[in-house]
Amino acid sequence: MLSKKKTFTRGIHPPENKSLTETKSIETMPQPEMVIIPLQQHIGAPSEPIVNIKDQVKIGDKLSESKGVVSVPSHASISGTVKKIEPCPHPLGVDVLSIVIETDGQNKLSDAISDEPDYKKLASEEIINRIKNAGIAGMGGATFPTHVKLSPPPQKKIDTFILNGAECEPYLTADHRLMLEYTKDILSGMQLMMQVLNCSNGFIGIENNKPDAIETMRRVVSESGYKYQVIGFEVKYPQGAEKQLIKACVNREVPRGGLPMDAGCLVQNVGTAKAVYDAVARHKPLIDRVVTITGNGIQTPKNVLVPIGTRFSDVIAFCGGLTDDASKIVNGGPMMGIAQYTLDVPVIKGTSGILCLNDAESKFPDELACISCARCVDGCPMGLMPNLLGTYCEYKKFDEAKQAGILDCIECGSCAYICPAKRRLVQWIKFGKLEVNRMQKTAA
């Protein structure tokens, strides 16, 4: 029987809207005519190009090298010719230096991509090197370089590894389908990461609205002889956030301003685990990912394995195109995603969904004055006062916002969703966090 008690404090319950794609198997998208590979698809320093215009590349060839410790390289997701190296539109709303490749139609694979039967015997250092060279960044949306996350300081002992299969964001089902269709690969990737960390406690957290994924994971864990515990969580947003997942899973608190490692934990997304397995066991870099294309603004909602760098316009065309009343396209889900101004942006490593909203879904009501109802306070999973933070930021009182804990905000959007006055709280708080971080860098 699935437990309904495992969860965190506070949170909200937005409509799930997953029925459009949760039962649809992953489809593989054909190679597009061109891809745009941004050199910034991760937290940290952008990578530096190592190819030139007119160079011929194969699928999996390295296009750029890491720059600094917190950085990852990028790779070709199609075979063809490098046509441009220039700033291009990016899903985060800015232009980013990118490598544009035009296909040769031959789908040539890099000679480096090959299966390695004895990958389980590799030393931890080699596993981390392969993860780094594969360009893997967290695929749950945060895009933190995975090799860095797997290399905590010696004084930070990790005793608990948590595999994140919660996928609490409404509409999105990419992780759900991955857990059903690539179960063994995901578990193998999890085992590799636990080996690197010398970690013995393994948990797999999945929301109870995915009973088939919970059942499948438990069955394969048992059959494979792993000692992992599969936990079904209460369906609540944002259950998939790291700190909330840790609280629900092992009842530990990450200290204010701290990281999961400060609670002896490390959390990785199921998509990241699959990518780790591919990198270590197959020498395959991160060149594609599963994306949910959904919403009532798309003709045929799907879960699709998409080459990194594919333009949103090409992915949407593969799904039958937009409906006549489509009015907004979002990179990600409705709570934490970013609306797009062009369909020429590429799918990047952190693109979990392309949400196509119609007129009815995308209407945004007028903003009213705060009525001091405290619903945002009751719902905030971090225990903050979003009403106060929003006001501080609106009036540019950034020192006060810092003192009130603005940097602890995870930008989940719960406050803006639950606010009856429809205040743009999360937008103000994002603005405030940028200003506070800028002030701190200037002071340093």
pLDDT of residue 15: 96
Say how many residues make up the chain. 444
Residues whose CB falls within 8 Å of the CB of residue 61, separated by 6 or more in sequence, listed in order: 51, 75, 76, 110
- Average pLDDT value for the chain: 95
Q: Give the model confidence (pLDDT) of 303-316 as tens digits.
A: 999 999 999 999 99
The pair phi, psi for residue 144, each rounded to 5°, is -80, 135
pLDDT band, very low/low/confident/very high, at 363 (cuts 50, 70, 90) = confident
pLDDT of residue 5: 63
pLDDT band, very low/low/confident/very high, at 3 (cuts 50, 70, 90) = very low
Tell me the mean pLDDT in the region 429-440: 94
Token couple for 275: 């990518």
Q: Give the model confidence (pLDDT) of 224-256 as tens digits.
A: 999 999 999 999 999 999 999 999 999 999 998
Token couple for 190: 């999890």
pLDDT of residue 257: 84
Indicate the pTM of the whole model.
Answer: 0.95
d(CA 322, CA 358): 9
Q: Give the model confidence (pLDDT) of 17-74 as tens digits.
A: 999 999 999 999 999 999 999 999 999 999 999 999 999 999 999 999 999 899 999 9
d(CA 91, CA 95): 9
Whether the pLDDT of residue 399 is over 60: the answer is: yes
Residues 309 and 57 sit within 8 Å (Cβ to Cβ): no
> 119: which DSSP letter?
G
DSSP codes, 305-318? EEETT-BHHHHHHH
Within 311-351, strands assigned E span 326-331, 338-339
Q: Give the model confidence (pLDDT) of 152-164 as tens digits.
A: 999 999 999 999 9
Share of the chain above pLDDT 90, in %: 93
Give the three-class secondary structure for 334.
coil
pLDDT of residue 1: 36
Whether the pLDDT of residue 2 is over 70: the answer is: no
pLDDT of residue 383: 95
- Short-list 73, 69, 67, 71, CA closest to 112: 73
Which domains occur in the chain, in start order?
119-282 (3.40.50.11540), 375-443 (no CATH)
